[in-house]
């Protein structure tokens, strides 16, 4: 296998693509499959004159972040902190909402009790006034 100017190109493979171009072996440089071997058309994508052929050759590499890429690691940590902060805020507002809901229920219950008391008082006043009128009508002495 001959080497090329690109650092991730390993050399030419055995076969040819459907356009008759030689296949090249590459090392993946993405964080998800870092240094995993694959073969592809030597021209690459169709816009560069290739056929877009691609096939993994080596075993699957476990998903890891490239240790040398500090900015990606920092970005991941920032996103994790942001997620945990939003999770805490969600739990806080959810508990506040439950507290408010419970307070509203207590106030509604108190209001219902007060309405019932007012209705009982009105009924008592009405019946008392009827009883007083009846007594006044039955009373032999006029005051």
Structure tokens at 141: 């002495």
Q: Distance between CA atoms of 20 and 137, rounded to whole angstroms?
A: 121
What domain range is 29 assigned to? 9-56
Q: Distance between CA atoms of 61 and 36, rounded to whole angstroms?
A: 7
Residue 4: its pLDDT value, please?
41
39 and 97 fall within a common domain? no
pLDDT digit string (tens) for the chain, length 143 residues = 444 444 556 566 667 777 777 777 777 766 666 677 777 777 777 777 778 777 777 666 555 545 555 566 777 788 888 888 888 888 888 877 777 788 888 888 889 999 999 999 999 999 999 888 888 888 776 55
Kindly state whether residue 139 falls inside one of the protein's structural domains: yes
Q: Distance between CA atoms of 88 and 84, rounded to whole angstroms?
A: 6
Residue 11: its pLDDT value, please?
61
Q: Distance between CA atoms of 88 and 85, rounded to whole angstroms?
A: 5
pTM of the model as a whole:
0.31
Kindly state whether residue 44 falls inside one of the protein's structural domains: yes
Kindly state whether residue 140 falls inside one of the protein's structural domains: yes
77 and 132 fall within a common domain? yes
Number of structural domains in the chain: 2
88 and 117 fall within a common domain? yes
48 and 73 fall within a common domain? no
Residue labelled with tokens 């390993």? 10
| Residues near 52 by beta carbon (within 8 Å), at least 6 away in sequence | 41, 44, 45, 46
Q: Distance between CA atoms of 60 and 113, rounded to whole angstroms?
A: 70
Pairing relationship of beta strands 37-41 and 54-56 according to DSSP bridges: antiparallel
73 and 104 fall within a common domain? yes
DSSP assigned state of 29: -
């Amino acid at each position: 296998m001959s080497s090329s100017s690109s650092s991730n190109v390993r050399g030419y493979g055995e076969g040819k693509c459907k356009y008759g171009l030689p296949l090249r072996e590459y090392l993946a440089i993405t964080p998800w499959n870092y240094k995993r071997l694959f073969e592809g058309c030597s021209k690459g994508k169709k816009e560069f004159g290739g056929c877009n052929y691609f096939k993994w050759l080596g075993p699957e590499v476990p998903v890891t972040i490239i240790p040398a890429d500090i900015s990606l690691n920092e970005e991941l940590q920032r996103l994790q902190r942001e997620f945990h902060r939003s999770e805490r805020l969600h739990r806080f507002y959810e508990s506040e909402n439950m507290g408010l809901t419970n307070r509203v229920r207590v106030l509604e219950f108190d209001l219902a009790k007060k309405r019932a008391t007012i209705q009982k008082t009105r009924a008592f006043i009405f019946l008392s006034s009827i009883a007083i009128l009846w007594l006044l009508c039955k009373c032999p002495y006029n005051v």
